[in-house]
Chains A and B, each alone.
Chain A
Amino acid sequence: MSQIALFGNPNTGKTSLFNNLTGSYEYVGNWSGVTVEKKVGILRHQHIHIVDLPGVYSLHPLSRDEGVATEFLLTESFSAILNIVDASQLKRNLHLTVQLLEFGKPLIIALNMIDVAERRGVKVDVEKISQYVGVPVVPIIARTGKGIDGLVHAVLSTSKQEAQRFFLNYGIEVETAIHRISEQLPTELNLSKRWLALQFLEENQRVHEYLQASVDIGPLLEVRNRVQELIGRPLPQYIHDVREKWIVDVIEKTTIIAPKQPLTITERIDAIVTNKYLGIPIFLLFMYIMFMLTFDWLGSPLADLLDQFFSGPLTDGLSKLLSIVGASPFIKELVLNGIVSGVGGVLVFVPQIFILFFFISFLEDSGYMARVAMVMDRFMEAIGLNGKAFIPMIIGFGCNVPGVMAARTIEQPKERLLTILLLPFMSCSARLPVYALFVGTFFTKHEALVVFLLYVLGIVVALLLAKLFSSTLLKNESSIFVVELPPYRMPQALTLWRSTWDKGKGFVRKAGTFIFAGSVAIWLLTYIGPKGIGVGMDDSFLAAIGGVLAPILAPLGFGTWQAGASLITGFLAKEVVVSTMNIIYHAKNMDALQGLMVHYFTPLSAISFMTFVLLYIPCLATVATIHKETNSRKWTFISISCALCIAYLVSFSIYEGGKLLGFS
C-alpha cells in the first residue's frame, strides 16, 4: 500500500485537507502548531495512506514538532509528497517546496486558500506556476472542501508517475561541493544524494547526525568549510538567497498582485484586542463570560434538567424493569446505587463540559489563540517562560494530555520541560464536575466566581512554580519567543461543532467505559468488607482503604474515609471523584447528594477539598504522557511529588488560615 506525506508551512490547512481527503475529523485550529504528531489516515475509497505531519517552515527542525517532519523524510518510506501551499503567502511557502522538490520524490502542490489570497488581491495563474515548477498544481479551499476531487484525481495519477526532475543551480562553487559530497555518500542510502548534500551544506543538524551514522563526517566538513571560504558568507544564507531569487522570479511570472487593500477586518479587530492597555482585560473578560455561561447562565440549568431525568424517569424505569425481570436485591443495588449513581453523577455535567469545549474551540479556530500568546508574553517572560507556553495551558483546560503534547511547539528544551511540568495545574474539564458539585452545594450565589478563582489559583500556582524552577533547577538558557499571528476568521459552525464534539465525546465515552467500570468496582468495595458481604458502608473495604488516608487529610478539613477513598480513585480519572461520592453517600440524585454533603463538609473545607482536587496529582493518562514527552522518570516523579506537596500545603494554609480568620 503506498503512502503519501502531507507537508506544508504551519497553519496552511494541512489537517483540514487531511480531514477532507480521508473523511476523518482531526483536530484543526487557527494557529501555528496544532498538529504536533504525525497521523495516518486512508484516502477515501482508495488503498492509499495519507500521513499528516506537523507544519514546518523548512526542513531544519528548530522545535520538536518540526523534528517529526524531518524525521519522517529521513526514515520512512513513502511514494509521493503532497505539498500544501498557502496562496496568500507564496514566497515563504515556496522555500519549503524547493527543499521538497530537491528531495526527488513525486510531488503535487495543493494551492490552498485561493479565496483568502484573492481577497488580498493575489491572483495566481495555476497552469503557469505548474509549468515553471514542473509538478502538478491543484487549487483548493481546504476549509470548504472545494477542489478536493481534482486533488484526489491528481494524487491517483501521480502515484504511477515517475520521479520529477527539479534542478536549481546554486552556482559553480556549491555545485562542485554537492558533487564532492555526493561521491562520498554510500550507495545504499535510499535518499537523494543531492538533497542530502544540500541539507548538509545548509547546516541541517538532523541531516548532519544522519550522515554521521553512515559515513566519516570529517571530509564532508572539510568540503563545507572550503566552499564557505570561497563564497565568503554563511552558506545557509547563501543557499537561502539563491532559492529566494528563483522564487521571486517564479512569483513575478505567475501571479498578479493588486495594490494594497484598505484596512482589513483583521487589522481592525487587532487594533482592539491587542491594544496596549485593553489586551489583558479583554482576555480576562472573555474568560469570565466563558465561566458565567458554563456555570451560571446556561450550564447549570441544563445540568439540573439532566439530573432530574436521571433521578426520576430513568431510575424509576430501571427499577421497574429489574423487578419485572425478577432481579435480586444485589443486582438492583448494583445497578441503581452503583451504576446509575456513578455514571449518571458524571454525565449530568456533560452540558457544562460541552460549553467549556465550545469556547476553547472558538478560541482555537478564530485566530485569537496566538494573540493571547502575545498579550501574555511580557508576563510569562518575567517567570522565565514565553507567551507560547500559554497555548498549551489553554488547551490544558480541556484536557491535560493534548496540552502536554502541544508543548512540543516550544523551541527551547528548558521552556518546554517547564511548560510540561506546570500543565497538570491547569484545571482540566474532568475536574469540573467536582467543582460543580461543591459550588452547587455551598456557594449557590457565587458559583461562577468561585470556579473562576479556582482556575486562577491553578494558573497562579503553576506560574509561581515556573518561577521557582526557572530560577533554580533550570537556569542559564535564554528564552525565545517568535510567533506568527494568523488572520482572524469567523469559525464555521460545522467546524466549531465538530471540534467541540470531538473533545466532548471523549468525556461521554469515558463515562460509558471507564467510569462505568470504576463505579462497579467502587460499589463492590462498599458492598463487601473484611467481615463479609452486604456489610454496612462504614465496615466496607473502601472505608478501610480510605480510612488510611483520613488522619493525613484531617488537617486539611476533610479527614473522612469518604474523602480519602474518592481521592485515591481520582488518580485514575478525576471525574471518578464525583462518582465515588455519589455511591458512597448513597445519593439518588445531585440534590440529595448536595443535601447530604452539608453534614460532611463546611464551606471552608469544601474550598480546601476543591483546591486539593485541583492540584493534587495529574491523572494516570497525563502522568504517562509526561513520561513519554520528557522521556525521563526523574521529571515525571518530580511532577507528581511536586503536585502532591503543593496541594497539601495550599489546602492546609487555606483551611487553617480560614479557621484563624474565623470562617468555618
Chain B
Amino acid sequence: MSLNVVKFPVFPHLKKIIFPPRWLILFFLFLILNPVSSYAQEDLSSSWFNYHRVNMLVFLIFFFAVIVIFIERAKVGKSLFIRRIAGLDAIEEAVGRATEMGKPVLYISGIEDVDNIQTVASMIILGNVAKMVAGYETPLYVPVCMPFVVPIAEERVKEGYAAAGKPEAYNRDNVRYISSEQFAYAAGVNGIMMREKPAANLMFGSFYAESLLMAETGLATGAIQVAGTANIHQLPFFIVACDYTIIGEELFATSAYLSKEPKLLGSLKGSDLAKAIIMIILAVGALLDTLGITHFASWFYIE
C-alpha cells in the first residue's frame, strides 16, 4: 500500500503534518544546516549587504512569496475558507443599532499617522463603516489626530457614501482634525461623545494612554462600543470598557475581510500558513534547544 492512499478520515490535516510538501522540508533543512551564518563579519560600513541580516531576508522573501501565492490562488477563483470574524458582526451590530435609533456613529482612527499600518487598516474599515451608515439619516463623525489622515479619511467616507448610492449625504465637516497631541485629541473626542451622544463608538487603530479616557467616557454615555488595536498595553482597557474588542491580528483580518475582495482575503490565508510555520519552528526550536542543539535557534537571532 503506497503512502499516498492512506486515508485520514478523522483528522485530514494530520496528513499535511506527517507528509509536508517538499519545499517545506527543504526550508527546514536549510534552517537546520544554517549554511550562511559563517559569513558574518564585524565592520559593515563598507559592505553592500548586511550578512547579519540574511535570516531576515530569507523570512521576508518567504513570507512575501506565501502571501503572493495565496493572493494569486484567490484571483484564479480557488475557494478559500475564512471563518466568520466575530468583530465584524460586532461592528455591524453597533452601526445597526445607531442607525435604528437615528443617532450618530463615531469613528476613532487612533492617534498615529498613515505611516502606521494599524492606521491603514483602520482607514479600510472606515470606508466600509461609511458604506453601512450612508443608507440612513445618521451622521458619521470621524475625529482625526494626524494631518495625513484627514484627506484619507475624507476620501474613504466620501467613497463609502458614493458606493452606497448616497453621495449627497456626505458632510465634509464631519471628518474633523482635532489635535496631534494625544490628550488634547482625547479631550476633543470626549467632547463629541458627551454632546453629540453617538450610539456607536468604533475605535480602530493605534492607541496609547488616551484609550481608556475615550472608552470610559463612551461607556458613560451609553454607546455601544467596539474597539480594535494591536497595541498590547491598551487592550486590557478596551476589553473592560467596550462591548467587543478586536485583538491584535484580528484588526488586520477584519480590514481584509471587510474589503470583500477575494484576493485580499487570500493574504489572510497566507498569513495563516506563515503562522503555522512559525509555530512549527517554535516547537522544533524549543525541542532542539532542550537536546542541546542551539544551531537551529541561532538562525532567528538578529542584532
Tell me whether A and B are bound partners.
no
